[in-house]
């Protein structure tokens, strides 16, 4: 082994909240004196940050744990930890199938990883910490975030709240992330200021349902008030946020998107299905018409906003007609893009126990049809912007084409265009010359 000191690696599955947690874990480990390892074989600590929202990432984690067993046999001193939703959901039972796990860290306990590692090193005994806030307004476990960051670039995530109180019938998040709780605005703005001082220009505020930010705070501030505070921070050029829930999207927020200069013209607003009966069975708390009304007022107030969504196809009992309603809705609204998935039952959720689970073949056929339609719409929308000018925050050389640089528009579309690497970190005006599914090829104006 050729390395200069103790090293770690964090493997991440799942959503942006997990990516943000993994960054926190890396920073905690670096503060303990560990350095990022080039590969798993060189690591003294391997953390698996897991996801339970779909079955595929769970399978991947199980197979990775299988591979790591051999590594642990070769090097019994290596520490293997599991955190994230799967750790919370399965808890100590994880060790029945994978006794080589040393640490099981619940979703609200990341900040305790350093002391857990110290405990394992001292006692050579596995540890688990799985406390989760259960009571309404239980603010006891709003995680302490480490504000000193390791390596950061132009973009950064900032978690503003944790947990979810919505209990959509297909979703495991409320069970594994606990009750909704918001971080105080002063802590969030302090973190954003530190990031701005370190060169971050584009931040994404994260929460399972950012539109309900503030409900658990003592002070009377909602999400739009938080946006207004961040909008004033020097050095930050762009503010993004995800995820918004249609039932909590206010007029005030729509106006903020239109009027606050740093808030980007992009809204991700998951619809999931375009049929009222399915939405009711999903326990989403809105109707197709409610959603339609939100889109009308958004497009009236902020016509430049790119609208993206999530679709969940093949919910138990979904009929051909109900699926056609969803397909028609996608054609009617014309989303800029969408994350599209086939329903898979997740253990312990209400939808997993519903009768009339559909055959995989049916779900996959429907999903394919929706993807085809949505991809066509995405390209058509991008084609309609050919010749228009966009502000791009240049991130560096395009990984796919080294002759071009790459960056994002405020509408969250990728643009690749010919230009020197020295443009990285600058805001450049480009003209869209060719449309793709993901955005544009462009040219500097």
The CB-of-280 to ligand SF4 minimum distance in angstroms stands at: 14
415-418 contacts, C-beta under 8 A, 24 or more apart: 415/390, 415/439, 415/440, 415/441, 415/442, 416/440, 416/441, 416/442, 417/392, 417/441, 417/442, 417/443, 417/444, 418/443, 418/444
Distances in Å between the Cα of 205 and the Cα atoms of 157, 158, 181, 359, 362 are: 6, 5, 14, 37, 37
The strand pairing partners of 86, in sequence order, are none
Out of 35, 166, 189, 365, name the contact with ligand SF4 by CB under 6 A.
166
Tell me the CA end-to-end span of the chain in Å, nearest whole number.
51
Question: Which one, of 197, 258, 260, 239, lies nearest residue 393 by Cα?
Answer: 239
| Residues that contact ligand SF4, how many (by CB under 6 A) | 10
* Residue 167 is a binding residue for ligand SF4 (CB under 6 A): yes
Out of 164, 203, 205, 408, name the contact with ligand SF4 by CB under 6 A.
164
The stretch among 152-160, 170-178, 350-358, 368-376 that binds ligand SF4 (CB under 6 A) is 170-178
* Residue 173 is a binding residue for ligand SF4 (CB under 6 A): yes
For ligand SF4, the closer CB: 174 or 345: 174
Omega cis (within 30) before 375 = no
The stretch among 89-97, 99-107, 171-179, 195-203 that binds ligand SF4 (CB under 6 A) is 171-179
* Residue 161 is a binding residue for ligand SF4 (CB under 6 A): no
Distances in Å between the Cα of 191 and the Cα atoms of 15, 106, 151 are: 21, 23, 15
* Residue 174 is a binding residue for ligand SF4 (CB under 6 A): yes
For ligand SF4, the closer CB: 246 or 442: 246
Site for ligand SF4 in 233-292 (CB under 6 A): 245
Torsion of CA 388, 338, 25, 223, to 10 degrees: 80
For ligand SF4, the closer CB: 63 or 137: 137
The CB-of-235 to ligand SF4 minimum distance in angstroms stands at: 31
Dump the DSSP string for 202-216: EEEEE-TTGGGTTTT
Task: List the structure tokens of 212.
Answer: 């309900």
Torsion of CA 291, 248, 438, 14, to 10 degrees: -130
Burial class (CB in 10 A: 0-12, 13-18, 19+), 283: middle
Out of 28, 86, 171, 239, name the contact with ligand SF4 by CB under 6 A.
171
Q: What is the DSSP letter of 89?
A: H
The CB-of-168 to ligand SF4 minimum distance in angstroms stands at: 3
* Residue 438 is a binding residue for ligand SF4 (CB under 6 A): no
Site for ligand SF4 in 205-234 (CB under 6 A): 208-209
For ligand SF4, the closer CB: 171 or 254: 171
For ligand SF4, the closer CB: 170 or 323: 170
The stretch among 118-126, 167-175, 332-340, 374-382 that binds ligand SF4 (CB under 6 A) is 167-175
The CB-of-171 to ligand SF4 minimum distance in angstroms stands at: 3
Site for ligand SF4 in 336-395 (CB under 6 A): none
The CB-of-164 to ligand SF4 minimum distance in angstroms stands at: 3
Distance CA 348, CA 342 (A): 18
* Residue 116 is a binding residue for ligand SF4 (CB under 6 A): no
Distances in Å between the Cα of 313 and the Cα atoms of 291, 300, 330, 333, 437 are: 18, 29, 12, 17, 21
* Residue 398 is a binding residue for ligand SF4 (CB under 6 A): no
Which residues of the shown chain bind ligand SF4 in the complex (CB under 6 A)? 164, 166-168, 171, 173-174, 208-209, 245
């Amino acid at each position: 082994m050729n390395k200069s000191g103790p090293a770690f690696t964090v493997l991440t599955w799942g959503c942006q909240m997990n990516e943000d947690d993994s960054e926190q874990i890396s920073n905690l480990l670096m503060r303990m004196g560990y350095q990022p390892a080039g590969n798993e074989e060189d690591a003294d600590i391997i953390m698996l940050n897991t996801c339970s929202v779909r079955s595929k990432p769970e399978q991947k984690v199980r197979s990775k744990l299988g591979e790591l067993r051999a590594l642990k046999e070769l090097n019994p001193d290596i520490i293997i930890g599991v955190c994230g939703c799967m750790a919370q959901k399965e808890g100590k039972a994880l060790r029945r199938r994978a006794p080589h796990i040393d640490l099981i860290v619940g979703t609200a306990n990341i900040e305790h990883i350093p002391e857990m590692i110290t405990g394992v090193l001292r006692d050579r005994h596995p540890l688990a910490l799985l406390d989760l806030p259960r009571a309404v307004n239980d603010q006891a476990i709003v995680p302490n975030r480490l504000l000193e960051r390791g390596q950061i670039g132009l973009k950064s995530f900032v978690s503003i709240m944790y947990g979810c109180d919505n209990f959509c019938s297909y979703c495991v998040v409320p069970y594994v992330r606990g009750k909704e709780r918001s971080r105080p605005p002063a802590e969030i703005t302090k973190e954003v200021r530190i990031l701005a001082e370190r060169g971050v220009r584009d931040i994404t505020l994260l929460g399972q349902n950012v539109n309900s930010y503030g409900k658990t705070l003592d002070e009377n501030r909602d999400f739009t008030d938080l946006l207004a505070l961040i909008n004033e921070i020097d050095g930050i050029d762009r503010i993004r946020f995800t995820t918004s829930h249609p039932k909590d999207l206010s007029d005030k927020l729509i106006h903020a998107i239109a009027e606050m200069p740093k808030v980007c013209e992009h809204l991700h607003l998951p619809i999931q299905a375009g049929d009222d009966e399915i939405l009711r069975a999903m326990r989403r708390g809105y109707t197709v018409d409610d959603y339609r009304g939100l889109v009308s007022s958004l497009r009236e107030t902020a016509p430049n906003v790119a609208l993206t969504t999530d679709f969940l196809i093949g919910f138990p009992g979904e009929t051909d007609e109900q699926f056609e309603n969803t397909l028609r809705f996608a054609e009617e609204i014309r989303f800029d893009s969408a994350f599209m998935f086939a329903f898979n039952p997740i253990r312990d959720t209400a939808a997993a126990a519903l009768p009339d689970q559909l055959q995989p073949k049916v779900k996959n056929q429907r999903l394919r049809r929706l993807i085809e339609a949505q991809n066509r719409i995405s390209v058509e929308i991008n084609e309609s912007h050919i010749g228009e000018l966009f502000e791009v925050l240049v991130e560096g050389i395009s990984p796919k084409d080294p002759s071009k640089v790459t960056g994002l528009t405020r509408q969250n579309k990728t643009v690749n265009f010919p230009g020197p690497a020295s443009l990285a970190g600058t805001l450049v005006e480009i003209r869209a010359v060719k449309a793709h599914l993901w955005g544009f090829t462009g040219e500097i104006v």
